């Protein structure tokens, strides 16, 4: 059984002050579902960019504050089924995929046909990736998140590679579950609450991320990023021109 969020560090800026790698995703505003991803390494003189900025997508309805390493903030709050990706600062958890192994230093879990992430509010396994062969078929009833979407969702390749974004580590019911970074179904198509990208970008990210460098994932609208950047010790970035929404927004 794998928790979809398992951070044990205290809340607040100190929780990521020792992080040496940062994946940053920014949107034009709270309702945008198109975004820009940037990556940074921390050096003696501060954050340095690593890979070229690239287009990614987020929740079809935009963003709302999630539960992560950051202190509580004013504004919209992530809820189960709202179509919003959780904003804030989060630990990066286990990598996963359809292959038996992954080219990454992160812990990796090869997903099987029996693996599901539980998005049922009333379930005691809420926000956890579980094996139906272990917990029983009754325990996964109602879940809409089979981790082998290629088998259960018509050949869908979105979970062929990805990693857990550790939102809602306490698994609070209805606070949002099964939040990942993963491959997109097609370029520009938003998600139900995850962050999606080209497979080549995901492969590059997984090859770069190292657990000993305590990587974090930061997702914020541009105005919130500008407000919090200095206080939270985040990189200085140039303004982006990311579109607000895709013309053909569809659910995951």
User: Could you report the per-residue pLDDT of 193-216, keeping only the tens digit for each?
Assistant: 999 999 999 999 999 999 999 999
In a domain, 28, yes or no: yes
- The pLDDT value recorded for residue 238 is 78
Instruction: Give domain status of residue 95, yes or no.
Output: yes
Q: Is 123 inside any structural domain? A: yes
Q: Is 95 helix (H, G, I), strand (E, B) or coil?
A: strand
- pTM for the full predicted model: 0.92
Would 243 be classed as within a structural domain? Answer: no
Distances in whole angstroms, Cα of residue 13 to Cα of each of 64, 105, 145, 211, 234: 19, 25, 32, 19, 10
Domain interval for residue 46:
2-6+19-232
Let me know if residue 11 belongs to a domain: no
136: Cβ contacts below 8 Å, ≥ 6 apart = none
Predicted local distance difference test score (pLDDT) of residue 13: 43
pLDDT of 11 strictly over 60? no
* Contact predicate 94/114, CB 8 Å: no
Query: Total domain count for the chain?
Result: 1
- For residue 246, being part of any structural domain is answered with no
Percent above pLDDT 70 for the chain: 90
Residue 239 lies in a domain: no
Q: Is residue 183 part of a domain?
A: yes
pLDDT in tens, 81-112: 999 999 999 999 999 999 999 999 999 999 99
């Amino acid at each position: 059984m794998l928790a979809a969020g398992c951070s044990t560090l205290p809340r607040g800026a100190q929780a990521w002050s020792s992080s040496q790698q940062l994946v940053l995703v920014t949107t034009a505003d709270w309702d945008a579902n198109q975004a820009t991803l940037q990556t940074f390494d921390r050096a003696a003189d501060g954050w340095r960019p690593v890979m070229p900025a690239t287009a990614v997508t987020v929740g079809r309805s935009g963003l709302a504050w999630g539960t992560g390493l950051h202190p509580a903030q004013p504004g919209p709050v992530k809820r189960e089924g709202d179509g919003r990706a959780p904003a804030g600062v989060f630990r990066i958890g286990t990598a996963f995929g359809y292959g038996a192994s992954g080219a990454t230093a992160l812990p990796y879990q090869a997903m099987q046909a029996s693996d599901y992430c539980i998005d049922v509010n009333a379930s005691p396994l809420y926000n956890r990736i579980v094996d139906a062969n272990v917990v029983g078929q009754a325990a996964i009833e109602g879940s809409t998140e089979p981790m082998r979407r290629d088998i259960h969702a018509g050949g869908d390749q979105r979970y062929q590679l990805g990693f857990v974004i550790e939102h809602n580590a306490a698994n609070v019911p209805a606070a949002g579950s099964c939040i990942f970074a993963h491959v997109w179904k097609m370029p520009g198509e938003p998600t139900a609450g995850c962050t999606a990208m080209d497979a080549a970008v995901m492969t590059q990210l997984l090859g770069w991320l190292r657990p000993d460098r305590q990587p974090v994932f930061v997702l914020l609208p541009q105005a919130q990023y500008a407000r919090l950047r200095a206080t939270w010790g985040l990189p200085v970035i140039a303004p982006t021109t990311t579109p607000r929404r895709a013309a053909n927004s569809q659910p995951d």
